[in-house]
Structure 1
């Protein structure tokens, strides 16, 4: 059972980008459906588990959910412009680097000299791995993507949302299943605010938006099983194995979504994945 809990987050998070990419809609449709699906699942979890949480932590958790929307919207845009097989390893690498640095600078992690050395090595591996997965042969595509550079910049900037989402819970007295419901409420409120500001009310009734609810349920399975895996297997083991999701989603993008890569791009992508997984292990285990 512990092994199943350890593998389930990686499988669910690995499948999530593939499920989202299959929905014929815009990123705003996909993020709306994902947020609604997550809220539905979190209500069920709350009614079953009845976790307790203070008012302050409830509000902070809602804020983290709102920032998640920023990061996920950037990632979904990357799926459309760059493809899943390129967006996921870059996004994952950026998150791992940012989260590790925040852990050191704010929470005082990697206290020992050896931890700092291995942590620095892990960050280098993550950065190099992300660069490798971003290698692109412009002459391969029949129709070059003029928005490629701007999409990469957007992906870097919106990663801030994921970093806040990953960081704030570390400073909270409540965590895990207790913050799942308020996080999802924050997600939905942020999406509705974005829809209102951008004047896209049609998103609320679009077929693609409601098809994307499945993505929210998949995200919820990954999140809940990861929380349970942390309890059963420990933070380090649960986290490292969950990062295998990037391998599954990247390979799935090429195999199931038929995202084309040249031989050179494929070699660099596979090397990049190896380095990203190695970097995740190095920054977590030492």
Structure 2
């Protein structure tokens, strides 16, 4: 049961973009809707759980949330430009690579030779996957030439990745956990 409960947030939070795309609206209204939904849910949880909220935890939460909004809204903007099937694998890969590298460089998370070797191999495979996911067919390239949407979408995804990276790292820097 514990594993089931642990997997639920990953499934639902990871699928939120798909729900947003299906429900429609622009990137900002989708981000606002997601944020309001999370706020309502967290207020409900707060009523029952009563977590400790110090000024530090509250401040880190606000800063982290602002950077999440940067990541989310730009990810949704990118979906408008290059589609969900290109945006999501590239975005997920960039997030995995950036947070892993930040963790290794700043927090020294890979301490053994084995973890370094396996980690570097994993990052190489992720980067290869990102490149393969971003490849365009001949028809896509021809249709793209006049619009420039793909390049714009990738630049916006890079901004999104920075937002998501800071969103995660801020809590780690201040040793704030979920409970």
What TM-score, normalized to structure 2?
A: 0.90
Alpha-carbon separation, structure 1, partners of 2:43 and 2:15: 23
Q: Could you list the per-position Cα deviations for residues 185-240 of structure 1 after superposition, in whole angstroms to 9, with x for gaps in the alignment?
A: xxxxxxxxxxxxxxxxxxxxxxxxxxxxxxxxxxxxxxxxxxxxxxxxxxxxxxxx
Note the C-alpha offset of 1:20.
Answer: 0.5
**What is the 5 A alignment of 1:82-231?**
82-140=82-140, 143-144=143-144, 145-177=147-179
Q: Could you list the per-position Cα deviations for residues 115-162 of structure 1 after superposition, in whole angstroms to 9, with x for gaps in the alignment?
A: 111111111111111111111114158954531111111111221110
Runs (4+) off by over 6 Å: none
Note the C-alpha offset of 1:172.
Answer: 2.8
Query: The residue matched to 1:139 in structure 2 has which SS?
Result: helix
Query: The residue matched to 2:137 in structure 1 has which SS?
Result: coil
Point out which structure has higher relative CO (alpha carbons under 8 A, 6+ apart). 1
Unaligned runs of 5+ in 1: 178-286
Maintained 8 Å contact 2:24/2:30: no
Supply the RMSD in Å over aligned alpha carbons. 1.8
Alpha-carbon separation, structure 2, partners of 1:61 and 1:13: 17
Note the C-alpha offset of 1:37.
Answer: 1.1
Provide closer, same or farther for how the CA distance between residues 113 and 56 of structure 1 changes in structure 2, counting only shifts above 3 A. same
Unaligned runs of 5+ in 2: none
| Number of residue equivalences | 177
Alpha-carbon separation, structure 2, partners of 1:140 and 1:174: 44
Provide closer, same or farther for how the CA distance between residues 63 and 14 of structure 1 changes in structure 2, counting only shifts above 3 A. closer
What TM-score, normalized to structure 1?
A: 0.58
Provide closer, same or farther for how the CA distance between residues 84 and 41 of structure 1 changes in structure 2, counting only shifts above 3 A. same
Note the C-alpha offset of 1:30.
Answer: 0.8
Aligned residue for 1:39?
39
Does residue 78 of structure 1 match 2:78? yes
Maintained 8 Å contact 1:78/1:87: yes
Provide closer, same or farther for how the CA distance between residues 168 and 140 of structure 1 changes in structure 2, counting only shifts above 3 A. closer
Note the C-alpha offset of 1:176.
Answer: 0.8
Aligned residue for 2:55?
55
Alpha-carbon separation, structure 2, partners of 1:2 and 1:154: 37
